[in-house]
A and B are shown apart, each in its own frame.
Chain A
Amino acid sequence: MTKKGVLFISLLACMISLPVAMNAQCKQFAKNTCKAGLEPYQHDGNYHAALLIEGEEAELYKTFYSDREYRIGVCGATNLEAIEFKVVDTRNGKVLYDNSLHDYDWKWDFNLESSQQLKIMVKVPVPEANLDEPEEGCVAIMFGSRDD
Chain B
Amino acid sequence: MNLKLLLSGRIFLLLFLMLGLILTGCNRGTKTEGSGEFEASGTLDEETQEQLNTAKRIFYSLPSPLETAMLIKNAGAVYDEELMNPVSNTSRYITSKSKALNLGIYSTDLSYASLFDQSQATLDYIAAAKEMADGLNILDAIDEETVTQLEEQINNRDAIIDIISETLMNSSSFLKENDLEGTASVVLVGGWVEGLYIATSLVNENDLDDNKLVERIVDQKLSLDIMISLLESTPEDQDSQAVLEDIRALKAIFDKISINQGESTVVEDPTTQISTIKSESSIKISNRVFTELKAKVVEIRSSYIS
Contact = CB atoms under 8 A, between A and B. Distances in A.
Interface of A: 1, 3, 6-7, 10-11, 13-15, 18-20, 22-24, 26-27, 30-31, 35, 42-63, 65-69, 84, 86, 88-89, 91-97, 108-117, 121, 123, 125-126, 128, 131, 134, 136, 141, 143, 145, 147
Contacts of B223: 63, 117
Given A27-B177, A50-B27, A113-B280, A63 B36 contact: no
A110 B38 contact: no
A87 to B, nearest CB: 9
A110 B277 contact: yes
B279 interface: yes
Given A3-B5, A58-B56, A59-B59, A121 B37 contact: yes
Contacts of A1: 1
20 contacts: A6-B8, A31-B169, A35-B169, A42-B162, A47-B169, A55-B44, A65-B71, A66-B215, A67-B75, A68-B74, A91-B261, A96-B264, A109-B273, A111-B275, A112-B279, A113-B277, A114-B261, A117-B223, A117-B225, A147-B74
A44 to B, nearest CB: 4
Given A65-B71, A96-B264, A126-B43, A56 B279 contact: no
Contact of A51 (B25, B43, B178): B25
Contact of B274 (A3, A49, A111, A128): A111
B251 interface: no
Nearest to B107: A45
Interface of B: 1, 5, 8-9, 12-13, 16-17, 20-21, 24-29, 33, 36-38, 41, 43-44, 48-49, 52-53, 55-67, 70-71, 74-75, 161-162, 164-169, 172-173, 176-178, 212, 215-216, 219, 222-223, 225-226, 229, 261, 263-264, 266, 272-281
Contact of B61 (A30, A52, A60): A60
B9 A116 contact: no
The 9 closest A-B pairs by CB, nearest first: A45-B168, A114-B281, A18-B20, A62-B61, A23-B177, A60-B59, A14-B16, A58-B57, A47-B172
B44 A126 contact: yes
